[in-house]
């Protein structure tokens, strides 16, 4: 066996979001509808209960309540056969309606669910584009993080670019961002 014999050729198999430096986390919300990890979410009242919803084109979220969704519990795949899921596939699985999730509000994150059309420079502002282009091979769903102002949803400009590292041959990369409301 040779170390590194199976190189990744793009960001499709990498987690949509990972934590570079933790910040404020809220984890008492359940999903209202299917949510893709790494997507922009906001709280809303459903039947007298507070739920989290992925930001869509028709929404008007309050910037102070928008965060980033991550899976609450990462259950290992019990399938040991050829279709077994690895840790990256598990963290990228959609958060089902009614499942608990984690809502990150501050800190520093690494994002791969970013628009591959855009060029990212330090200091740029990043927002959620509900219909934005996604890297090839990312999980089902819609939306991506981008600096393309025309695509950004109002009330979702959460981040400042710290660093962009190209990864693969399809204009994909890993974007390190800092929440604008963070002191990190």
DSSP secondary structure of 159-177: EEEEEEEE-SSSS-EEEEE
Q: What is the pLDDT of residues 137-160, one digit of tens each?
A: 887 788 999 998 889 999 999 999
Q: Could you give the C-alpha distances from 21 to 27, 98, 137, 156, in angstroms and in order? A: 17, 28, 27, 20
Q: What is the pLDDT of residues 73-108, one digit of tens each?
A: 666 666 677 777 777 778 888 999 999 999 999 999
**Does some domain include residue 145?**
yes
Q: Is the pLDDT of residue 4 over 60?
A: no
**Does some domain include residue 127?**
yes
What does the alpha-carbon distance between residue 40 and residue 85 come to, in Å, rounded to a whole number? 25
**Does some domain include residue 10?**
no
What does the alpha-carbon distance between residue 81 and residue 91 come to, in Å, rounded to a whole number? 19
**Does some domain include residue 5?**
no
Whole domain around residue 35: which residue ranges?
17-179
Q: 3: pLDDT confidence band, cut at 50, 70 and 90?
A: low
**Does some domain include residue 6?**
no
Q: Dihedral (C-alpha) 85, 175, 157, 152: value to the nearest 10 degrees?
A: -80
**Does some domain include residue 11?**
no
- Residue 102 tokens read as 């984690």
**Does some domain include residue 33?**
yes
Q: How many domains does the chain have?
A: 1
**Does some domain include residue 2?**
no
């Amino acid at each position: 066996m040779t170390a590194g014999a199976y190189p990744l050729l793009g960001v499709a198999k990498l987690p949509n979001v990972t934590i570079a430096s933790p910040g404020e986390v809220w984890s008492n919300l359940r999903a209202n509808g299917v949510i893709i990890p790494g997507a922009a979410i906001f709280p809303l009242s459903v039947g007298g209960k507070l739920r989290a919803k992925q930001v869509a084109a028709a929404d008007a979220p309050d910037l102070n309540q928008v965060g980033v969704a991550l899976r609450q519990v990462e259950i290992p795949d019990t399938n040991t056969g050829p279709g077994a899921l690895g840790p990256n596939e598990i963290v990228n699985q959609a958060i089902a309606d009614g499942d608990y999730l984690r809502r990150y509000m501050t800190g520093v994150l690494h994002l791969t669910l970013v628009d591959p059309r855009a060029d990212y420079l330090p200091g740029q502002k990043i927002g959620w584009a509900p219909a934005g282009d996604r890297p090839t091979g990312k999980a089902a769903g819609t939306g991506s993080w981008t600096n393309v102002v025309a695509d950004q949803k109002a009330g979702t400009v959460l981040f400042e670019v710290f660093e962009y590292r190209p990864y693969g041959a399809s204009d994909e990369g890993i974007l390190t961002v800092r929440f604008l409301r963070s002191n990190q």
